[in-house]
């Protein structure tokens, strides 16, 4: 079965699993997100890309309930969860693999997985199934998380989220700090994860990796959406411009040039 979407087509009924509308989030006086909207449909791999500080992690953490929005709404499976506590969102089917993994380093591999099962829904994922997917993990179930490599810790963090049997998996910077071969190995497991009916919303700085796995793409820059669409419908130049703000810079240069020309014309007319 081909579990990764190949054509980026949305479901015919047009009903999103996650609907984020005009989301604005502040960190103190800083506006981290500015009226960001997105819709993620069942079975999609929806990728959020952008440079450091673009607001990507803030978006995921707000969807998970770890930040409270200033404005806007978050709907999940047809219900408004904007003010719902994080643990209740987990019970409804939202699980997150946070940036930096955030394992309990003093706990064993198995104890970390048991934490993920605290608000578990009924479903196909068990600790034993996670052990089957990550072949090395069962033999090291009693090893403390602090003794694992970065890639191994990332695998445990993914397993911890999976045992909650979520409907939507939020993946925040999977490739951060990992060797390319480890990143490829982890992303190579996405088809197996999607085969169980999961929908994935991932945040990634590695644009090439995101483009390879995503059925839909959205770019953030300074908390605002600069590009949105299917990877097959956007060019490398469009992605680059959205990622680095080149389009905005170009418009600002053009406006400044127009203003200078206008000023020169006025000046010459007055002379």
Domain 18-106+166-234 has CATH 3.40.50.300: yes
How far is residue 143 CA from its own chain's centroid? 29
Residue 35: CB atoms within 10 Å: 14
Is pLDDT of 43 > 50?
Answer: yes
Q: How far is CA 147 from CA 109, 118, 150, in A?
A: 10, 24, 10
pLDDT digit string (tens) for 92-144? 999 999 887 789 889 999 999 999 888 888 999 999 999 999 989 999 999 99
pLDDT reported for residue 177: 75
Instruction: Tell me if 159 sits within 8 A of 134, measured CB to CB.
Output: yes
Banded model confidence at residue 246, pLDDT cuts 50, 70, 90: confident
DSSP H or E segment with residue 173: none
Banded model confidence at residue 6, pLDDT cuts 50, 70, 90: very low
Is pLDDT of 261 > 90?
Answer: no
Q: What is the CA radius of gyration of the chain?
A: 21
Is 53 strand, coil or helix?
Answer: coil
Cα(244)–Cα(248) distance, rounded to whole angstroms?
A: 9
pLDDT reported for residue 187: 86
pLDDT digit string (tens) for 152-173? 998 999 999 999 999 999 999 8
DSSP H or E segment with residue 74: strand 71-76
Is pLDDT of 249 > 50?
Answer: no
Q: Which of 118-127, 190-199, 206-215, 258-267 is predicted least confidently?
A: 258-267
Banded model confidence at residue 11, pLDDT cuts 50, 70, 90: low
Instruction: Tell me if 111 sits within 8 A of 104, measured CB to CB.
Output: yes
For the chain, percent of residues with pLDDT exceeding 70: 86
Is pLDDT of 233 > 90?
Answer: yes
Mean pLDDT of 229-246: 93
pLDDT reported for residue 60: 96
pTM: 0.83
Cα(186)–Cα(176) distance, rounded to whole angstroms?
A: 12
For all residues of the chain together, what is the average pLDDT? 86
Cα 158-83-15 angle, rounded to 5 deg = 70
Q: What DSSP designation does 178 have?
A: -
Mean pLDDT of 241-254: 65
Banded model confidence at residue 263, pLDDT cuts 50, 70, 90: low
């Amino acid at each position: 079965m081909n579990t990764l979407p190949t054509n980026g087509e949305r479901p015919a009924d047009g009903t999103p699993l996650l609907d984020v509308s005009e989301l604005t989030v502040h960190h103190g006086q800083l506006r981290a997100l500015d009226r960001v909207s997105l819709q993620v449909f069942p079975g999609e791999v929806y990728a959020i890309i952008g440079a450091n500080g673009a607001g990507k992690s803030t978006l995921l953490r707000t969807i998970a309930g770890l930040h409270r929005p200033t404005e806007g709404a978050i709907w999940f499976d047809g219900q408004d969860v904007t003010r719902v506590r994080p643990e209740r969102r987990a019970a409804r089917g939202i699980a997150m693999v946070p940036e930096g993994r955030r394992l309990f380093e003093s706990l064993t591999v198995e104890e970390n997985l048991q934490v993920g099962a605290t608000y578990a829904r009924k479903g196909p994922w068990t600790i034993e199934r996670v052990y089957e997917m990550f072949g090395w993990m069962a033999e090291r179930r009693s090893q403390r998380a602090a003794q694992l490599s970065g890639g191994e810790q990332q695998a445990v963090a993914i397993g911890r989220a999976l045992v909650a049997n979520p409907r939507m998996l939020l993946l925040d910077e999977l490739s951060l700090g990992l060797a390319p071969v480890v990143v490829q190995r982890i992303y190579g497991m996405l088809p197996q994860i999607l085969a169980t009916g999961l929908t994935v919303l991932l945040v990634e700085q590695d644009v090439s990796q995101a483009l390879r796995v995503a059925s839909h793409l959205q770019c953030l820059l300074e908390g605002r959406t600069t590009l949105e669409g299917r990877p097959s419908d956007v060019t490398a130049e469009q992605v680059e411009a959205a990622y680095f703000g080149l389009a905005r810079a170009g418009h600002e240069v053009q406006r400044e040039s127009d203003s200078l020309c206008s000023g020169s014309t006025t000046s010459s007319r007055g002379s």
